[in-house]
A and B are shown apart, each in its own frame.
Chain A
Amino acid sequence: MVLLVGIYYPEGYMETWDAVIVGGGLAGLRAAIALRGLKVAVLSRVHPLRSHSVAAQGGINAALKNMPEGADDSVEKHTYDTVKGSDFLADQIAAATLCEQAPRTVYEMEHWGTPFSRLDDGRIAQRPFGGTAVPRTCYAADRTGHHLLQTLYAQVRKYDIAVFEEFVVLRLVQADGRVHGVVGIDLAAGSIVEFAARSVLFATGGYGRVFRDSTNALINTGSGIAIAYRAGVPIKDLEFVQFHPTTLFGTNILITEGARGEGGHLKNAAGERFMSEYAPKLMELAPRDIVARAITTEINAGRGLPGGYVQLDLRHLGHDRIHEHLPGIWEIANDFAHVDACETALPVLPGQHYSMGGIDVDIEGHSAVRGFFACGECACISVHGANRLGGNSLLETLVFGRLTGQAMSRFLAERHQDIDYAAVAGAKAQVIDGIDQLAGGTLNAAMIRDRMRDILSDDVGIFREEKSLISARDRIRQLAEDALQVKTDSSALRLNGGLVTALELPMMLDLAMIICEGALARTESRGSHFRTDYPSRDDQRWLQHTVATFGADGPRLEYHDVDLSRYEPKEREY
């Protein structure tokens, strides 16, 4: 911040930024590094090292061919696995870009210091992951996200990039189809702050906490996607919600796919490896949507254990392998299920994990609003289509963080973006009004939020059908009306968590509504979206992206073509 003594700033003066990045996880930080040298600010609702990227466990995919079993791996195979895993809803050139950029991305992180696990000859070790037969997933024990995030954040400190921590963005300023900045709360300062900016990037993560049973960090409210939606930005494929097959019974804390990649077995109450019934070739390493449905089917058929879970058995891997390759899993099981993974099988069941859909952007992160970009989990290019493969999300954050940052840099160089300062000031005034209005309410925001979570987990989950989807939508609509009557204990801005909950509630309900409407409209089953009343994939009608835009009576849905330029859609077999 430049403050020179003697210079008079007129009232309403706004500092202007070249680029404002909202989100301090892997995608946001990687974009910031690509934009270094410009006047760039990262706004993060938590300290960057507390971002949800830190919780990623299993690894990052790249066809490095380091393992003997992966000697004939290739970018082409990685691309095809990704497209097939997506149930052919991924845009194929985008998926190819993801996979082409993978090796250099992993090497770059290694060069910056990420302590990847190694082979005896010193090269990066790789493990098998779901949806492919080759070991392609590079990892740092089972704390890959932690190590990548610390590596990137250290680079951000090295380059002295401005980071505003504990800053909750509430509004994207859009006028005349262009972006002009953002407005939010600086929690520690306790003030509403505007950022006038020539370009804005959202890297705000997923919306997992719209669901009750989620692996996601508590901060993953999806607010970024909802803020973009309210600013008129189209939102794509939100009904495709990934349910991770193995989350810890009771808390839904993630148990990495790497546990199965290392050789862990899924067993029902009878001790049978039931995946042989569902995916005889890949067994436990079938794509996540298939394994999650298999587990739920076992539990629903009464073949689970009392309380409703199955077992993830690691015992045969032995003490050394568990502690060397899966130390974090051992700790999580110990801390949160009070189980020693070397002695006892882990109790697991599926839970919400990842948002395939998000802000509709192209391969360079451009949205429909000029100067507004998105990357990472909050964005949908789409590289994951209807189902993401494990190990591809860390990859996406870094690849498209860099590519989007570079695209923003070109955008800023190519055109002069006039900022409508009055629009920024107007947005700030609206935010302040919105907070003032909460003083007159009567209802508890957390209670409404929890009801919404129950509805989504119970009725918009792994198995969906028309009747319960209609009921879910109607109840969400009612909750959205209730949300207008929410109260807060205090409208103080300083570190007031209750206020943030109240402000984010309508955003979460917006997303819940888009998910419900998209799921209800899509009368087929594809990837993670499974309709018991329409159990097959319907390429004739539904090989299309759902695109939702804000409307006063709810989301307006349109459908856009999928890029099928490389591969012919086929039925998935595993």
Chain B
Amino acid sequence: MTESLIHVLRSDEKDNAEPAFVSFAVPHENDMTLLAALLWIQDNLDGTLAVRYSCRGAVCGSCAMVINGDIGLACRAHMRDLPVEVFVEPLPNLPIHKDLVVDMTRFWDSWARVRPYLIRLDEAPEKETLQTPAQRDRIEQFINCMLCACCYSACPLQRRNPEYMGPAALAALARFENDSRDRRGGDSLKEASHDSGIWGCRAVFRCIDACPRSVRPADGIAQLRTRALKDLLGRKKR
């Protein structure tokens, strides 16, 4: 049995107090995750500690936060791999509701704005739309995004410009632009072709480092830019 000291940056938008670290001693053994430790605090020390969670297996994207300065999923961080003192903070670039729970409305709205669904002009076929494995490979890395907002929070351009659509939404746009079944034409791309869209990225690549799913949003943004330029120059698309 070891004991870690977890310092949680706590605050509540409903009162005006400055965020402050509150420390909790958590005993652990057998490979406890940070999420399990936070829920242990909630169960045993302070029931009001606010933290999002669901799957506890790194597939749902609920528990993204700042862990000793790095952005990641709490359920994927193991106490035995962390130092004895762990500092935990809510995701940056989003307003804080309470403690580790941030208001993600802006993030979701940005994602929804790129129309993250298949757009087809003809009637759907009776069976499946054909798509070869090679065609599917072009969207493979983007479809694994679980919308945890790690990239959104890691992006320095996002910090500078809250209107910036952000890496996840633009990766979603790249996913549908690259989908052989999609017929959205250039409209969605045009709608994102501005300084708070595909031209807002400065290729700092923090999004790539922050992604727990090995998605490379910056690759998608680069592809979208190339396509936007080609469209602009009137060259044949795709």
A residues contacting B by CB (< 8 A) are 46-47, 49-52, 54-55, 64, 106-107, 110-113, 115-124, 140, 143, 146-147, 150-151, 154-155, 157-158, 188, 190, 217-219, 250-251, 253-254, 328, 331-332, 335-336, 444, 446-447, 488-490, 492, 494-499, 501-502
Contact = CB atoms under 8 A, between A and B. Distances in A.
B47 A218 contact: no
Contact of B47 (A54, A117, A140, A501): A501
Interface string B99-130: 10101100010001001111010001111111
A498 B133 CA distance: 47
A235 to B, nearest CB: 24
A494 B195 CA distance: 37
B144 interface: yes
B43 A54 contact: no
A119 B57 CA distance: 29
B215 to A, nearest CB: 12
Contact of B117 (A50, A112, A119): A112
A265 to B, nearest CB: 24
Given A113-B118, A251-B57, 17 more contacts: A49-B147, A107-B124, A111-B118, A117-B133, A118-B132, A122-B135, A123-B127, A146-B144, A157-B116, A190-B14, A218-B39, A218-B53, A251-B56, A331-B58, A495-B99, A497-B42, A501-B42
Interface stretch (B59-67, B185-193, B197-205, B219-227): B59-67
Contact of A188 (B53, B97, B136, B146): B97
Given A111-B120, A120-B133, A489-B48, A494 B14 contact: yes
B191 to A, nearest CB: 15
B128 A336 contact: no
B54 A52 contact: yes
Contact of B44 (A64, A328, A444): A444
B57 A55 contact: yes
A557 B72 CA distance: 48
A119 to B, nearest CB: 8
A499 B39 CA distance: 13
A215 B103 CA distance: 28
Contacts of B128: 106-107, 110-111, 116, 123-124
B112 A157 contact: yes
A55 B60 CA distance: 7
Interface string B70-87: 000000100000000000
B131 A497 contact: no
B143 A115 contact: yes
B181 A113 contact: yes
Contact of B46 (A51, A154, A489, A501): A489
B207 interface: no
A35 B49 CA distance: 37
B47 A250 contact: no
A119 B131 CA distance: 9
Contacts of B230: none
Which of B48, B108, B126 has the most chain A CB atoms closer than 10 A to its own CB?
B48
A118 B60 contact: no
Contacts of A497: 39, 42, 47-51
Contacts of B120: 111
Contacts of A106: 128
Given A155-B117, A495-B98, A46 B54 contact: yes
B136 A117 contact: yes
B139 interface: yes
A489 B99 CA distance: 16
Contact of A250 (B31, B48, B116, B124): B31
Interface in B14-35: 14, 30-31
Contacts of B125: 111
A147 B143 contact: yes
B59 A496 contact: no
B55 interface: yes
11 contacts: A47-B62, A47-B108, A112-B117, A118-B135, A143-B59, A151-B117, A154-B112, A217-B60, A446-B44, A494-B98, A496-B48
A50 B48 contact: no
Contacts of A490: 47-48
B9 to A, nearest CB: 15
B187 to A, nearest CB: 15
B57 A254 contact: yes
A23 to B, nearest CB: 13
B14 A50 contact: no
A190 B98 CA distance: 11
A115 B55 contact: no
Nearest to A190: B14
Given A55-B59, A123-B128, A218 B43 contact: no
Contact of B55 (A52, A111, A119): A52
Contacts of A495: 48, 50, 97-99, 101
B121 to A, nearest CB: 13
Interface in B132-171: 132-133, 135-136, 139-140, 143-144, 146-147
Contacts of A118: 131-133, 135-136
B12 interface: yes
B136 A494 contact: no
B194 interface: no
A498 B58 contact: no
B179 interface: yes
Contacts of A54: 54-55, 59-60, 146
Given A118-B133, A497-B50, A49 B12 contact: no
Contacts of B53: 218-219
A121 B182 CA distance: 18
Contacts of A444: 43-44
Contacts of B124: 107, 111
A493 to B, nearest CB: 11
B169 to A, nearest CB: 12
A496 B43 CA distance: 11
A331 to B, nearest CB: 7
A250 B139 contact: no
B57 A498 contact: no
A496 B146 contact: no
Given A188-B97, A331-B58, A497-B51, A158 B117 contact: yes
